[in-house]
């Protein structure tokens, strides 16, 4: 008889945990804050420029083409902000690798494209937060700026 009284509790927990794991929030975070983390200061090449939003600072000498970076990270045990700052850095490293491959010195017109939702801002980026993962997708133009 005790066995049957436990069944509703177990079913409730199973249903509740499935809803919790299905979380898929979109949040916006500060680009400046993400770029100023200690990890970003250590891992990003100071010779490259990353420009968010539609306004380009400097004259474009060569446009090497548009690139998309899509990165995910484990968010377990992290705040949404910490997970998004970490995955932001992964995306910037992805852009940095593309700059090096294509011979440019900057990425301009960077915009968020999480789940194909285009969001352009010079101060914020969009990040998807789930129960166990966080992710960003960015699109930008690899260019050589006049120096």
Tell me which residues of the chain have a pLDDT lower than 50.
9-20
pTM (global) more than 0.75: yes
pLDDT at 21: 55
How far apart are the C-alpha atoms of 96 and 39, rounded to whole Å? 15
Cβ atoms of 112 and 59 within 8 Å: the answer is no
The structure tokens 């960077």 sit at 110
pLDDT at 16 (0 to 100)? 46
Element (H, E) at 68: strand 60-74
Q: Which residues contact 134 (CB under 8 A, 6 or more apart)?
A: 72, 73, 75, 78, 80, 83, 84, 86, 87, 127, 128
Show the domains of the chain with their CATH numbers: 23-145 (3.30.110.70)
Q: Which residue has the tokens 């494209």?
A: 113
Pairing assessment for the beta strands 49-52 and 60-74 based on DSSP bridges: unpaired
- Say what the pLDDT of residue 128 is: 97
């Amino acid at each position: 008889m005790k066995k049957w009284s436990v069944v509703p509790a177990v079913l409730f927990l199973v249903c509740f945990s499935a809803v919790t794991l299905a979380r898929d929030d979109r949040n916006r975070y500060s680009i400046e804050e993400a770029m100023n983390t200690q990890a970003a200061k250590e891992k990003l090449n100071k010779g490259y420029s990353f420009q968010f939003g539609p306004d380009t600072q400097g004259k474009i000498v060569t446009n090497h083409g548009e690139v998309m970076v899509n990165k995910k990270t484990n968010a377990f045990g992290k705040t949404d902000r910490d997970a998004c700052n970490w995955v932001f850095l992964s995306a910037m490293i992805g852009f940095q690798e593309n700059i090096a491959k294509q011979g440019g010195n900057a990425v301009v017109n960077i915009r968020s494209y999480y789940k194909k939702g285009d969001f352009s801002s010079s101060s914020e980026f969009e990040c998807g937060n789930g129960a166990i993962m966080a992710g960003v997708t960015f699109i930008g133009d690899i260019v050589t700026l006049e120096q």
